[in-house]
């Protein structure tokens, strides 16, 4: 019971922190002082105090978009263990539900964008869906490889079962982790796939779809982005952290530290490389699929 409470609290409260860490890392690389690490929280607080401006051309889907997206992500987050903190929800085959909850969130984001009738948002939706088509198989292959390794089909079993250390196959886990890292960057619209900071509508993928949202709705979208990064990030952290039977607090510290490190890594990737040309993004995603696929083959041998 206590664990479930802690799990839910972590899921709800902590995600924006890691976006703050990414921003801070980027600022350090640019030689700037940067915004406070807690700035994402201040931004959310500000947005939720505001009023939303809603375009007259839109209907209920536009308003439902952010709400459904965040609900889907929260629901999906309930199935992910945070290192040794067991998830609140777990059943046989829940990884299918997990993947399609992310899909449903995406569907509502793009549908809401299409409802505005703006040519930019249509373009962004087309890009988002195209790239998701390529990212999804990668994620499935990765999960499949891990499921094979652990012999279970529930996310909590898979993610708590796999850990680096004695007794596990190192190579396939590392390959899958590399593939999942690329998918993490792509799904969260980070460089090299998308640039979360750009103001140029024509180059955006995800950001352009939410141009018409404002106030609390925009707040929900930003919170959703933080959630998504946190959820996919914890999948990666769960795989990579070594097995342990320590005290609860040490394990919690390990998890948060690893998430922090992951965010710093994301920040470093964003700082040292430029975005890919958009026509090359599929190549990168196919590479992610291949990494996970080869991992799968290695385990199946």
Partner 1 sequence: MTEPLLSKEIINCGSIERESIPSLSIDGLSRHLRESVQNGQRVSALFGIPSLEGEGVEIIALLADDAQGRLWISRTHLQDKRFPSLTPGCPQLHLFERELAEDFGLEPEGHPWLKPVRYPQNPLGGELNQKPASIGIQDFYRVEGEEIHEVAVGPVHAGVIEPGHFRFQCFGEEVFHLEISLGYQHRGIEQALVGGPNQKTLHYLETAAGDTTIGHGTAYCHLLEALTDTEPPLRGQVLRSLALELERLANHIGDMGALSGDVGFLPTASYCGRIRGDFLNMTALLCGNRFGRGVNMPGGVRFDLEDDSLKQLIKMVEIGKQDAKVAIELLWESASVMARFEGTGTLAEKTARQLGLVGPAARASGLSRDIRSDHPAGFYRFTHIPLSSWKTGDVFARAYVRWQEIQQSLHFILEQLHNLPKGPVDSKVSQLKPNQLAVSLVEGWRGEICHLALTDEKGHLSRYKVVDPSFHNWPGLAYSLRNQQISDFPVCNKSFNLSYCGFDL
What residues make contact with partner 1 under the rule CB under 8 A? Answer: 26, 29-32, 119-120, 122-123, 127, 191-192, 195, 197-203, 270-280
In the bound state with partner 1, the residue whose beta carbon lies nearer, of 198 and 214, is: 198
Q: Are 18 and 256 contacting, i.e. CB atoms less than 8 angstroms apart?
A: no
For residue 193, the minimal CB distance to partner 1 (Å) is 10
Residues 6+ apart with CB under 8 A from 41: 16, 17, 20
| Whole-Å CA distances, 176 to 152, 255, 297 | 17, 19, 11
In the bound state with partner 1, the residue whose beta carbon lies nearer, of 27 and 97, is: 27
140: nearest Cα among 108, 106, 93: 93
Helices (H) and strands (E) in the chain, counts: 11, 0
Q: Are 150 and 158 contacting, i.e. CB atoms less than 8 angstroms apart?
A: yes
For residue 190, the minimal CB distance to partner 1 (Å) is 10
Task: Taking the CA atoms of 292, 283, 23 and 108 in sequence, report the sign of the dihedral they define.
Answer: negative
In the bound state with partner 1, the residue whose beta carbon lies nearer, of 51 and 199, is: 199
| Whole-Å CA distances, 235 to 156, 183, 201 | 10, 11, 31
In the bound state with partner 1, the residue whose beta carbon lies nearer, of 249 and 272, is: 272
In the bound state with partner 1, the residue whose beta carbon lies nearer, of 205 and 231, is: 205
In the bound state with partner 1, the residue whose beta carbon lies nearer, of 151 and 277, is: 277
Q: Are 106 and 128 contacting, i.e. CB atoms less than 8 angstroms apart?
A: yes
Classify burial at 8, counting beta carbons within 10 Å of its beta carbon; exposed 0-12, middle 13-18, buried 19 or more: middle
For residue 270, the minimal CB distance to partner 1 (Å) is 7
In the bound state with partner 1, the residue whose beta carbon lies nearer, of 33 and 301, is: 33
| Whole-Å CA distances, 72 to 45, 168, 198, 241 | 22, 33, 27, 27
How many Å apart are CA 131 and CA 187, to the nearest integer?
A: 9
For residue 222, the minimal CB distance to partner 1 (Å) is 17
Q: Which two tokens stand for residue 134?
A: 């390529």
Q: At what angle do helices 60-77 and 215-240 cross, to 10 degrees?
A: 20
In the bound state with partner 1, the residue whose beta carbon lies nearer, of 119 and 245, is: 119
């Amino acid at each position: 019971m206590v664990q479930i409470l802690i799990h839910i609290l972590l899921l709800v409260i902590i995600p924006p922190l890691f976006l703050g860490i990414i921003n801070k890392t980027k600022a350090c690389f640019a030689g700037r002082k940067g915004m406070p690490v807690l700035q994402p929280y201040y931004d959310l607080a500000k947005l939720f105090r505001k009023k939303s401006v809603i375009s007259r051309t839109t209907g209920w889907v536009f308003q439902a978009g952010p709400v459904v997206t965040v609900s889907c992500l929260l629901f999906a987050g309930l199935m992910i263990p945070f290192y040794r903190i067991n998830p609140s929800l777990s059943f046989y085959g829940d990884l299918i539900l997990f993947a399609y909850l992310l899909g449903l969130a995406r569907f509502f984001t793009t549908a809401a964008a299409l409802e505005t009738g703006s040519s930019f948002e249509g373009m962004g939706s087309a890009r988002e869906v195209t790239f998701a088509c390529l990212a999804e198989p990668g994620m499935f292959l990765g999960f499949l490889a891990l499921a094979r390794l652990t012999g279970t089909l529930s996310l909590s079993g898979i993610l708590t079962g796999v850990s680096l250390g004695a007794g596990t196959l190192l190579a396939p886990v590392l390959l899958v982790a590399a593939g999942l890292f690329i998918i993490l960057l792509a799904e969260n619209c980070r460089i090299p796939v998308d640039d979360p900071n750009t103001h140029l509508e024509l180059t955006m993928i995800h950001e352009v779809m939410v141009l018409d949202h404002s106030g609390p709705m925009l707040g929900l979208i930003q919170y959703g982005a933080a959630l998504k990064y946190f959820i996919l990030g914890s999948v990666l952290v769960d795989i990579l952290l070594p097995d342990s039977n320590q005290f609860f607090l040490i394990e919690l510290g390990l998890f948060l530290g690893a998430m922090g490190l992951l965010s710093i890594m994301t920040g470093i990737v964003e700082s040292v490389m430029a975005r890919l040309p958009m026509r090359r993004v599929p190549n990168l995603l196919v590479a992610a699929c291949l990494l996970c696929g080869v991992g799968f083959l290695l385990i199946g041998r």
